[in-house]
A and B are shown apart, each in its own frame.
Chain A
Amino acid sequence: MTDVSTHTPHYVPRPRTTRGLRSPLGILALVLVVLILGVAIFCGLIAPYDPNKQDYNAFLEGPSAAHWLGTDHLGRDLLSRLMYGSRVALMVGFGAVGFAMFCGVTLGLLAGYSRGFLDDAIMRVVDAILAFPSVMLALGIMAALGPGLSTIIIAIGIADMPLFARLTRSQVLSVRERDFVTAALAMGARAPRIIIRHILPHILGPVIALATLQVGHAILIEAVLSFLGLGVQPPTASWGAILKSGFDYLELAPWISAFSGLAILMTVLGVTLLEDALREQMDPKSGAKT
């Protein structure tokens, strides 16, 4: 990349610094993501209260010096609950996407490399799963497996898997025609070696960009499921569940709904912006060169 930038183009329309990781939005993305990760890792140290400790003198109290974001209907400190909620959100986000990525990439590699019948069979199943809107599929799987943190991870993971399979397959189809794959074949390398050593490293970029985006999507679906009462069960502090209890007291204590939704928005916006910036950075056509 460095010697590309030493070639000054004849005509530079405008300084190209408004996109990519160094753009204002890229910086905002990094700030949000680092903030959320920091809170999730250190919430044991920085949270002002125990997330499940009830203060019997403070039910549904508005924001104050003692409780910065107020308290809920059981007198629990909202800020502390939201801080601990970031752990649930990130566990679901990374867990579900990790699951989806592992299964999806494996299927995509198999389909793209084998072509023929196996390819058709895998892709039709992938199409079928993709036909279910992800919220509906996750709802159905949650109903089948019962509520809980691990089932929510599996449910969202299954719903997200087809995207990874499709992306991987299309990438494999273009990479497998390249000369270095032919060369590896000519040298007598077997399929597993070609797939893992030669093809996989070339397709990881787009897969990681998709994974970043899907972490946000998974957090959103978890919030919906928990809000509907089918996700993480109380008393675990999950943002969706907090929002649900806040909605029951919307007129009395609007801050519960407002702040818990803001927590979700900040996190998902952070990863969505990060994906956008990463893609700009990786895609030379959109010009993130500095």
Chain B
Amino acid sequence: MRNFYVRRVLTALVVLFIVSVISFFIAFVLPGDTATAMLGEEGGLDPERYAYLREQLGLNKPLVVRYFEWVGGVLTGDFGVSLRTNEPIGPALLRRLGPTMQLAMMAMVFAVCVAIPVGVVAAVNSRTWVDTAGTLLALTGIAIPAFWLGIMLMLFFAVWLKWLPPSGYVPIWENPLESIRLMIMPAIALASGLMGVIIRQVRAAMLDVLTEDFITAARSKGITERQVILRHGLRNSLLPVVTIIGLQMGHVMAGAAALEVVFSIPGLGRLAVDSIFFRDFTMIQAIMLLFAFIVLLSSFVTDMVYARLDPRIRYD
């Protein structure tokens, strides 16, 4: 049993190492060179300043040395400085993490609140038009471009009906109500895909569980069908849902990028997009690493929780 945890940690570390290599080297495939990018068009013509800057940035050292210097910095929380704004990257990332987290959390709440009832109802009415409608809703959620749904919500509820402010961001601790009002539309849009995935998962898990013997036993005890479904069926179908939420966390946060652009939310995704336009290599490296880290961490935690809850996993 301890073996399982040790192996899981070791694999995670190996994967994390490869992830850091990919994040670091992707910036070096980028066209152009950091020093040229920093000096701009005119500055690049001055060979002396160019050489000085290359020396300053450590660009003359071999790539492998620079990789280990970078990783060493990251491990101590030092991501270097942004080439665009010259500010330290760590605090900048932290500041941008808040809005993205809030958006992702709200989206998850919306997704779960809609998807679980729909999934249960679809499974209970399996192979009727209700089930078909549930499947159609789930697949539409998966197929719809989230940023387009966001734009359409903005058009209806902000531009035409004027019920909600069109775009912007207020930190939740400054003005909680306004902060949530601003995030409702992007969060609903972001929730669509996750909602689709959870509906399908709940439906499939419920269909599976409802054929189990203990459901028949529960029914034969004479308790109401409603109790059979909620107390015995749903409870046993929720574990896979927890897994899905854990595994999707990082992807939902990354999927927010286009929505952050549409709704002018200063989140990580928008920072990534801006950094690419400004060739801010150091920032791109850090953001890619951060996203992969979030994905790995959430799947690691999910695995651990799952193994605790379901001992069968540990012996595989």
Chain A residues within 8 Å of B, Cβ to Cβ: 14, 16, 18-19, 23-25, 124-125, 127-129, 131-137, 139-146, 216, 220, 223-224, 227-230, 243, 247, 250-251, 254, 257-258, 260-261, 264-265, 268-269, 272-273, 276
When chains A and B are docked, how far (Å) is the Cα of A171 from the Cα of B174? Answer: 52
Q: Is B145 an interface residue (CB 8 A)?
A: yes
CB–CB A128/B276 < 8 A? no
CB–CB A133/B19 < 8 A? no
Q: Is B257 an interface residue (CB 8 A)?
A: yes
When chains A and B are docked, how far (Å) is the Cα of A269 from the Cα of B139? Answer: 7
CB–CB B145/A140 < 8 A? no
Q: Is B26 an interface residue (CB 8 A)?
A: yes
Chain A residues within an 8 Å CB radius of B221: none
CB–CB A227/B31 < 8 A? no
Given A128-B18, A136-B287; A16-B145 close (CB under 8 Å):
no
CB–CB B132/A23 < 8 A? yes
CB–CB A145/B29 < 8 A? yes
CB–CB B152/A258 < 8 A? yes
CB–CB B148/A243 < 8 A? yes
Chain A residues within an 8 Å CB radius of B19: 128, 131-132
When chains A and B are docked, how far (Å) is the Cα of A146 from the Cα of B29? Answer: 10
Q: Is B110 an interface residue (CB 8 A)?
A: no
**Nearest-CB distance from B83 to chain A (Å)?**
13
Query: Which of B39-47, B88-96, B231-239, B248-256 is the interface stretch?
Result: B248-256
When chains A and B are docked, how far (Å) is the Cα of A211 from the Cα of B261? Answer: 30
CB–CB A223/B145 < 8 A? yes
CB–CB B151/A261 < 8 A? yes
- Total interface residues in chain B, CB < 8 Å: 51
Chain A residues within an 8 Å CB radius of B27: 144
CB–CB A18/B295 < 8 A? no
Closest to B279 in A: A143
**Nearest-CB distance from A144 to chain B (Å)?**
4
CB–CB B139/A273 < 8 A? yes
Given A127-B15, A140-B284, A247-B151; A132-B22 close (CB under 8 Å):
yes
CB–CB A133/B251 < 8 A? yes
Closest to B252 in A: A133
When chains A and B are docked, how far (Å) is the Cα of A251 from the Cα of B30? Answer: 37
* Cβ contacts B5-43/A at 8 Å (1 or 0 each): 000000100110011001000110111000000000000
When chains A and B are docked, how far (Å) is the Cα of A230 from the Cα of B272? Answer: 12
When chains A and B are docked, how far (Å) is the Cα of A14 from the Cα of B131? Answer: 14
Chain B residues within an 8 Å CB radius of A260: 148
CB–CB B273/A216 < 8 A? no
Chain B residues within an 8 Å CB radius of A220: 143, 145
When chains A and B are docked, how far (Å) is the Cα of A136 from the Cα of B135? Answer: 29
Chain A residues within an 8 Å CB radius of B30: 143-144
Closest to B159 in A: A251
Q: Is B262 an interface residue (CB 8 A)?
A: yes
Chain B residues within an 8 Å CB radius of A257: 148, 151-152, 155
When chains A and B are docked, how far (Å) is the Cα of A19 from the Cα of B203? Answer: 14
CB–CB A124/B291 < 8 A? no
CB–CB B142/A272 < 8 A? yes
Chain A residues within an 8 Å CB radius of B131: 18
When chains A and B are docked, how far (Å) is the Cα of A5 from the Cα of B126? Answer: 21
10 tightest A-B contacts by CB? Answer: A133-B254, A261-B148, A128-B18, A144-B29, A268-B143, A269-B143, A131-B292, A143-B276, A127-B15, A133-B251
Q: Is B154 an interface residue (CB 8 A)?
A: yes
Residues of chain B from 79 to 133 with CB closer than 8 A to chain A in the complex? 127-128, 131-132
13 sample A-B contacts, Cβ–Cβ < 8 Å, listed by A number: A124-B15, A132-B22, A134-B251, A134-B254, A135-B255, A143-B276, A223-B145, A224-B147, A228-B257, A230-B276, A250-B155, A251-B159, A268-B144
